[in-house]
Amino acid sequence: MTVGVFGLGRFGSFWASLLSERFSVIAYDRDPDIKPPQRVRRVSLEALGNCPIVFLCVTIRAVPEVLQVIAPYLAKNTIIADTCSVKVLPGKWLLEYLPQETPILATHPMFGPESAKDGLEGLAIMIDPLRLDARQAQFWEDVFAGLGLTVVRMTCEEHDREAAYSQALTHFVGRSLYRIGLPETPIATRWYKKLHSVAKQCVRDSHVLFEDMQTLNPFAQEMRRRVVQGFIDTLQDLGDPSTQQLIQIDEKIREEPHDRCSE
């Protein structure tokens, strides 16, 4: 069986490489200079659209454009599987921009090259068979389980609700701490070392992915509001004179939506 990958960036190359341990993998990238991983063969859009499944490994914001690029080349039964870090909006785009008959599998591998470098055991992949028959959904669930992954079936909405914390919060906090320059010190505690490693890890992902996680997940704004509230409460405990101002910000965040989900 041949598996297709659209996009050979950091995640796409990693994902293609992982799949190539089980399948014959072909890939497309609009950049002709990008070098595919070992065992992965670069092909044209025509060839990609003819294989049984194509995983989209592109930035979230690029999905609508990529769907319009690939749609004309899709064979009738080619499954399109996205791998986006948010799911509600890409799910809507998949159903909207793809031909009526194209089967659709929403997936989110909850890991990247860094967290997977010591093996896949204990790592999770979320799947939502948005438009896929039960037999094919089970087939892909078994494939992912066969790789050693924990497969979690949930709706795109459940995913975004939980990922607003498990992912968007982690990156929001990690990036905010990283930029103030957490020092290395011989008196680091075990817990500071953990926090430091989280901050260092978060900035390995692209800033575009970070922005998309924060602004294209419909639950991320509420998460940020709650994080600000958490800091307000802590500063209040400490009798910090700036608490009143933080409460005003909090009200501002409640009033003015600034994510792009509502655009």
User: Which one of residues 207, 208, 219, 263 is an interface residue with a second copy (CB under 8 A)?
Assistant: 207
Q: Least distance from C-beta 138 to a second copy, angstroms?
A: 19
SS3 of 80-133: EEECCCCCHHHHHHHHHHCCCCCCEEEEEECCCCCCCCCCCCCCEEEEEEEECC
Q: Least distance from C-beta 115 to a second copy, angstroms?
A: 4
Q: Roughly how many angstroms between the first and final C-alpha of the chain, as a whole number?
A: 40
User: Which one of residues 24, 77, 206, 242 is an interface residue with a second copy (CB under 8 A)?
Assistant: 242
CA pair distance 59, 144, nearest whole angstrom:
22
List the x/- string, 152-171, binding to a second copy by CB under 8 A. x-x----x--xx-xxx-xx-
Binding status of residue 130 toward a second copy by CB under 8 A: no
Which residues 6+ apart lie within 8 Å of 115 measured at CB?
A: 123
User: Between residues 34 and 240, which has the closer beta carbon with respect to a second copy?
Assistant: 240
Binding status of residue 206 toward a second copy by CB under 8 A: no
Site for a second copy in 55-114 (CB under 8 A): 108, 110-111
Q: Of the ranges 6-14, 22-30, 65-73, 175-183, which one interacts with a second copy (CB under 8 A)?
A: 175-183
Number of residues that bind a second copy (CB under 8 A): 71
User: Which one of residues 47, 71, 104, 253 is an interface residue with a second copy (CB under 8 A)?
Assistant: 253
Q: Least distance from C-beta 142 to a second copy, angstroms?
A: 18
User: Between residues 131 and 224, which has the closer beta carbon with respect to a second copy?
Assistant: 224
Identify the bridge partners of residue 152 per DSSP, sorted by sequence position. Answer: 126
C-beta of residue 65 within 8 angstroms of C-beta of residue 45: no
Q: How many residues does the chain have?
A: 263
- Residue 115, both tokens: 């967290």
Neighbours of 74 (CB within 10 A): 20
User: Which one of residues 43, 173, 203, 261 is an interface residue with a second copy (CB under 8 A)?
Assistant: 173
User: Between residues 32 and 241, which has the closer beta carbon with respect to a second copy?
Assistant: 241
CA pair distance 144, 22, nearest whole angstrom:
11
* Sign of the CA dihedral running 102, 141, 169, 201: negative
User: Which one of residues 126, 156, 209, 216 is an interface residue with a second copy (CB under 8 A)?
Assistant: 126
